[in-house]
Structure 1
Amino acid sequence: MTTSKSLENSTPISYAPGRRTGTGSANVQSPRKTTTLPGTILGFRRVSLLSMITFTGQVPPFGHSASTASYSSLEDLRKAAERPIVVFPECTTSNGRGLLRFAKVFQTEVPVKKYQVFVMCVRYDPPTSLAPTLTLSIPSLLNPLPHLFSLAASLSPPAISIRLLAPSESPSSQLFVVSEIITDATFNDDQLAEVCAALVAQIGKMKRTGMGWEDKASFLEFYRGKRN
């Protein structure tokens, strides 16, 4: 796997998203309409690396009953961790051509005071006739072995682009002005999730679809029902 842009620091960004073309073609503002109501993330649980790989493309609760599994809060995991914690707020995978709605996994106000937040965006090249895409949006029976095989057998190595937001623009910067990002009181119960979604959309130049993992769960249920 090759990296076309590896961890390059972003230049300071403007909080008025979209090109000044008058068409709104690059506007990445918060979507006003959503397909489904956001689901509730109860917490997090520890699993092995192999389990994480197997769950690629799946949706919460990832094969476990929500009523019987034991969960830990993100704050408890952060306090016990001896190294940085990576959070994927979309809670599932997509085809990489748009940004899914971020789940309310942080429950934190901005600016963040207890820890540092680093915002990163990963963009994947679309598939071509010579190379498949790195994204795995639909899990398979022996997930993810068929996808790994297609990547290993491709004639051209797939590439990704990784962008890192400058720390001075981070939601943990005490100079961060949340009102420049959030103008709707609907997102006040998890300001950090909404702010990170807006920042990722800006640095990655990605469109926010307004759909979340809940929509994918409904699609997978329909998709598997049609195949049976």
Structure 2
Amino acid sequence: MEKYGAFRDKGSGIAPFFPVPSQPAGVALPFHVFLFICRIPILLTATLSYFLVFCWLPIGSLGKKAALWIILGVPGIWWIDLQVDGVKKGSIGQYTRSRLPHPGSVIASSFTSPIDALYLAAIFDPLFTASYPGTRKVQRLTLWQAMFYALSSPPTQPPKNAKLVDLATLIKEHPDRCIAVFPECTTTNGRGILPFSPSLLSVPPKTKIFPVSLRYTPADITTPIPGAYWGFIWNLCSKPTHCIRVRIAEYMYNQSTASAAPKEPPRRNSYETNLLDDLHKTEMKPRTVVPVDQDGMPNDEEQKVLDKVGEALARLGRVKRVGLGVDEKAGFVQAWTKRR
């Protein structure tokens, strides 16, 4: 593994792109094969039924969530360990509006597996988006596309035919839905938080941003390597059960947008003005407000917002932030595929 030393974080030594190995089945291998054979037809039927039939029927959000929970239950995802910052266990129902993501808010989620999108859809029914490095705009995705996005190659730039839009526009057009953002842009093995895309900087200043961390036990259903379809399906369906550890932090705001907004000069009454002031105003050139570069590098105030969300995700997942990003993962995938 020395040849992959360049893909470890220099400060912490964390390697966020290595696939998590499965525990050897040993004498339980026949039982795992039996579970896999029994679950595959049921999972395939439930998945195709939802994406080809149920998601197009007017059965409401509750009916769709029930169908998604069936898909989650087939491979044994039974136990959900949910904790919310500032909320005691057993009293989450009292804080559905203030402590949990709701319509008109933004979910900044960790990104490790296709199960991320499936679970978020079963709980919050959000609009999914794909973030890209170097741009503050996002691409809207369906649930099916979001699941396959977790198994795709790391996107160093948006596709040529992608329709990009900022989050403020999505929130305005869909006030009855929350927006799910994967600011890391690509998946990891859950052992580190990658640098963020600036897409969260397009969130309006009064919109709540909820950092949400999703971790799995066992962790071999994470998909840091793109295209690992068969390995993911085997690890998902051959194990008796899986646990999802969900942590939701307190909401925060994009304060950089509020601070960057131009302030109007204070109004003065007629006693504080005179004719010379009016003449001086007419001679002065009108002040032009320079628009914020939507695809530029974040300034110091904007970077603080991204760091705050990243630190919250690292704290929730009990991991560290790393300095490796999408470009480093693209190099790792190329080296890993070449070795294979």
Fold shared, TM-score > 0.5 on shorter chain: yes
Structure 1 counterpart SS, 2:79: strand
| TM-score normalised by L of structure 2 | 0.45
Which residue of 1 is the match for residue 217 of structure 2?
Answer: 125
| CA pair 125-186 structure 1, distance change in 2 beyond 3 A | farther
Q: Which residue of 2 aligns with 1:201?
A: 314
- Deviation string, structure 1 residues 132-153 (Cα, Å, up to 9, x no partner): x22111122xx53541233111
Evaluate the alpha carbon distance shift between residue 119 and residue 216 of structure 1 in structure 2; reply closer, same or farther with a 3 A threshold. same
Higher-strand-fraction structure: 2
Which structure ranks higher in relative contact order (CA pairs < 8 Å, sequence separation ≥ 6)?
1
User: SS in structure 1 opposite 2:208?
Assistant: coil
Tell whether the 8 Å contact from 1:102 to 1:193 is kept in structure 2 after alignment: yes
Report what 2:30 is aligned to. Answer: none
Structure 1 unaligned spans of 5+: 13-37, 128-132, 175-184
- TM-score, normalised on structure 1? 0.64
Query: Is the 8 Å Cα contact of residues 10 and 203 (structure 1) preserved in structure 2?
Result: no
Which of 119, 122, 139 is 1:45 aligned to? 139
SS at match of 1:76: helix
When residues 187 and 203 of structure 1 are mapped into structure 2, their CA distance, relative to the original with a 3 A threshold, is: farther
Residues 145/115 of structure 1: CA separation in 2 closer, same or farther (3 Å cut): same
C-alpha separation in 2, matches of 1:47 and 1:121: 20
Match for residue 150 of structure 1 among 235, 245, 255 = 235
The one of 78, 82, 85 aligned to 1:10: 85
- Structure number with greater Rg is 2
Q: Say whether the 8 Å CA contact 1:134–1:158 is kept in structure 2.
A: no
1:171–1:219 Cα change, 3 Å:
same
For 2:205, the aligned partner's letter is K
The worse-fitting range, judged by mean Cα deviation, of 44-53 and 116-125 is: 44-53
1:221 to partner: Cα distance: 2.5
Q: Compared with structure 1, are the counterparts of its residues 138 and 145 closer, same or farther at alpha carbon in structure 2 (3 Å cutoff)?
A: same
Q: Is the 8 A contact 2:85 2:248 kept in 1?
A: yes
In structure 2, distance between residues paired with 1:124 and 1:200: 15
Higher helix share: 2
Amino acid at match of 2:226: P
Of 78, 103, 121, 2:171 maps to: 78
1:135 aligns with 2:222: yes
Task: Write the distance in 1 (CA, Å) between the matches of 2:234 and 2:223.
Answer: 12
Correspondent of 1:171 among 252, 268, 293: 252
Q: Distance in 2 between matches of 1:209 and 1:87?
A: 19
Query: Whole-Å Cα distance in 1 between the matches of residues 236 and 242 of structure 2?
Result: 8
Alignment-mate amino acid for residue 206 of structure 1: V
CA contact (8 A) 2:192 2:321 kept: yes
Q: Is the 8 A contact 1:101 1:211 kept in 2?
A: yes
Task: Tell me how large the CA RMSD over aligned residues is.
Answer: 3.2
Pair 42,84 (structure 1): closer, same or farther in 2 beyond 3 Å: closer
Give a deviation string over 1:109-134, Cα, whole Å, max 9, x none: 9xx6321222221222354xxxxx22
Letter in 1 for 2:242: P
Instruction: Supply the distance in 1 between the matched residues of 2:244 and 2:182 (Cα, whole angstroms).
Output: 17
- Alpha-carbon deviation of 1:191? 3.7
Tell me what 1:20 maps to.
none
Does the CA-based 8 Å contact 2:183-2:199 persist in structure 1? yes
Could you list the per-position Cα deviations for residues 27-86 of structure 1 after superposition, in whole angstroms to 9, with x for gaps in the alignment? xxxxxxxxxxx9413632234433332232334548x86444331122222221230011
Q: 1:91 and 2:185 equivalent?
A: yes
1:59–1:216 contact (8 Å) kept in structure 2? no
- Cα distance, 1:172–1:107 mapped onto 2, change above 3 Å: closer
AA matched with 1:171:
M
CA distance in 2, matches of 1:9, 1:55: 27
Distance 1:40 1:219 in 2: 20
Structure 1 counterpart SS, 2:244: strand
